[in-house]
Structure 1
Amino acid sequence: MKHIQITPAWYFSDEAGNQLDSKLFTLLEAVHRHGKLTRAAETVGISYRHAWNLLNKWEDFFGIALVDLERGRGARLSALGEKLLWAEQRVIARLGPQLESLGSELNLAIQQTLEGVKPVLRLYASHGYAIELLPKHLHELRLDLQYCSPREALAALHRGACDLAGFHLPHGEVGQRVSRAYRNLLKPRSYRALRFSTRRQGLMVASGNPLGIGGLQDLACGEARFINRQATSGTRVLLDGLLAEAGLSPAGIRGYELEEYTHSAVAAYVAANMADVGFGVEAAAQRFGLGFVPLALEDYLLICHRRSLAEPKLQALCRVLEGEAFQAAVAELPGYTPDRCGQVEGIEALLPDL
């Protein structure tokens, strides 16, 4: 099957037209991970000489070293090398979900032209690492996956623009408050919920947690630099709910007004030492080598019309969700469990206040 994948690219250039080689970012990431230039070159798939020449070329371009090499101590990124690597990772983290959504649209249009119109499962969902896995497992279905905020996803289901809306609901009292906020978009008589996964959210901190951050109360004094999620995200709703539950004011948090648009982007921000702490899922923290302070559990749910459950495309989805392969993939994600994945429940069972 032909498949479009859209990836971001950016370049440094000078007046002579020289442009930064994209392979340099891969090499810098490998040096950061392995601490040895020989191992980094092997990982990237180039010779040691090629790696050495690549670094020399771009050190001449910038006029400063990108990697510090010390006999007996291996290799480590210089300050500029770190800035370049984290800039690349922030670009990918911030734009990834939007580009995946665009790629989904383009793939669908091209495949329908090549093979004719076939049934499509339209999923509007809050972005997450588990939901990212679905396209790789839905071999029987054409999936139109669009990432958006939870409220936008439920609104799309309400107006018939999608078959499924994915959003996350925190456990406990915070979850009850969140459910009331979605009251006008959930129809207990008409809708049903598919269990998808349970995940941990909390504070992402530098490796080793050098500031000793143990909870939200450590943010309220304004000492630690914080990076937030955008106001429309479900993760921001969860954070605000936890702050309210603890009696803490956002006004005391240094950087509360600064926003990023994905879990990965928040993690990359902290990993680049642009902030001391962010809020998001454990999987993002581990992916960027950060420490994690767990604060909350939440269920990720897929909401659909009750009548849609009899359709072949929804039945095919349920078979995938209940299958060992998909559940094993979810279980490998740090902080995720495929709790009752694929199980159908009434809205009232999940949101008793409705």
Structure 2
Amino acid sequence: MPDNISYTPEEVARILKISRFTVYELIKRGDLAAYRIGRKVRVEQADIDQYIQNTKSCVPNLTRSMVQAPDPGGDTQAGLIICGQDLILDTLSQHLEKLLPQLRFLRRHIGSMDGLSALYHGAANLVTAHLWDGDSGEYNLPYVRRMLPGHKTVIYNLVHRMEGFYVAKGNPKAIQAWPDLVRPGLRFVNRECGSGARVLLDEMLRRLQLEPARIAGYDQEETSHIAVASRVARGEADFGLGIEKAASQVAGVDFIPLHKERYDLIFRKEDLGLPHFQAVLEILRSKGYRDEVTGMGGYDLSMMGQKIAEV
């Protein structure tokens, strides 16, 4: 085959048996040479051959279980872009870096719906979500079906967490349940649209037929659980919604448990056999990672690493 023949990124993905997203990521980082004709990206056969030759030296560095994973021609350099905000994802990334030191693992601290959108648009390849559907009572599956049409995905559980209200130490305003959201005289601090906590709140309001306009502070938004808890600790709000773990990290805050949620990992089914993703599952099922997450407190690990569904 002549060296000057060129391919589109989609054709390269089929040749290398990797995702189209991975091809674009390799080109962006300079690991795979490419050029443009107008708005079209092209890759020459010689550059594909060179990339394959370069990756061969990386295979011996993989663990035995990774080498044996079904990955015919798969990429061994691109690593993962992991979306989510929970601290246990930082720990997961650290374990991945130790297990596969030649790969790159990047974090994007974005909410659940933004993560699913990034997966759909090819801007991420492993995302987390805790999106509750008020009609079915199910977590994540209804949203994956709606937001990734035509894309086969797999969903594995990471942990279960408790969502509830952050209140001032001693709970001086006696805040206890969802109807307190519309109690006169209370100031609330909200999460941003698209976050799992915001979806839970809005779904609960819909089910309880409570109008957001009646909540003082509904339009006051923060982009993390810690930020919400900090606003309460500083006296800028009487309460806010978030996970139990954040309450233990902010002095002067108590936690009122309300709703147990499932926090899942979601990625494309086509990537399941790649070493990167097999490494993730291996870590989730390892004693070392489980012990580390258990030591953090505030998490239920009873289903960690179990497959929830294929969608």
Instruction: Judge same fold: TM > 0.5, yes or no.
Output: yes
Task: Give per-residue Cα distances to partners, 1:231-277, cap 9 Å, x unaligned.
Answer: 22121011111122222221111111111110000011111111110
Whether 1:293 aligns to 2:256 is: yes
The answer to which structure has the higher helix fraction is 1
Q: How does 1:254-265 map to 2 (within 5 A)?
A: 254-265=216-227
Contact 1:150 1:167 in 2 (8 A): yes
| Structure 1 equivalent of residue 303 of structure 2 | 340
CA contact (8 A) 1:198 1:297 kept: yes
Instruction: Give the distance between the partners of 1:288 and 1:180, measured in 2 at CA.
Output: 33
Displacement of 1:226 after TM fit?
Answer: 0.9
3-state SS of paired residue (2:264): strand
- Do structure 1's residue 314 and structure 2's residue 281 form an aligned pair? no
Q: Deviations over 1:3-37 (max 9, x none)?
A: xxxxxxxxxxxxxxxxxxxxxxxxxxxxxxxxxxx
Give the SS at the match of 2:248.
helix
Are the structure 2 counterparts of residues 127 and 188 from structure 1 closer, same or farther at C-alpha, using a change threshold of 3 Å? same
Q: Tell me which residue corresponds to 1:159.
A: 121
Higher relative contact order (CA 8 A, sep 6+): 2
- 1:269 and 1:275 in contact (8 A); partners too: yes
1:140 counterpart = 2:99: yes
Alignment root-mean-square deviation, CA: 2.9
Task: Give the unaligned 5+ runs of structure 2.
Answer: 1-28, 30-53, 56-75
Cα distance between partner residues in 2 of 1:238 and 1:228: 11
Q: Quick one: structure 1 residues 251 and 334, their matched pair in 2 at CA, closer, same or farther if it must change by over 3 Å?
A: farther
Residues 173 and 327 of structure 1: is their aligned pair in 2 closer, same or farther, counting only changes over 3 Å? Answer: farther
Deviation at 1:167, TM superposition (A): 1.1
SS where residue 293 of structure 1 aligns?
strand
**Cα deviation, residue 175, structure 1:** 4.2
Normalized against structure 1, the TM-score is what?
A: 0.61
Alignment match, 2:162: 200
> C-alpha displacement at 1:219, in angstroms?
2.2
Q: Is this contact kept in 1: 2:139–2:261, CA < 8 A?
A: no
2:239 pairs with one of 277, 285, 306: 277
Segments of 5+ residues of structure 1 without an aligned counterpart are 1-108, 110-115, 349-354
Distance 1:127 1:172 in 2: 23
Q: Could you give the per-residue CA deviations for residues 138-174 of structure 1, whole angstroms, max 9, x where no partner exists?
A: 2123311112232222222223332212111338746
Paired residues, number: 238
Identity among equivalent positions (%) equals 33
Letter in 2 for 1:278: G
Residue 211 of structure 1 aligns to a residue whose secondary structure is: coil
Aligned counterparts of 1:174 and 1:229: Cα–Cα separation in 2: 23
Offset, 1:128: 1.6
Show the counterpart of 2:77: 119
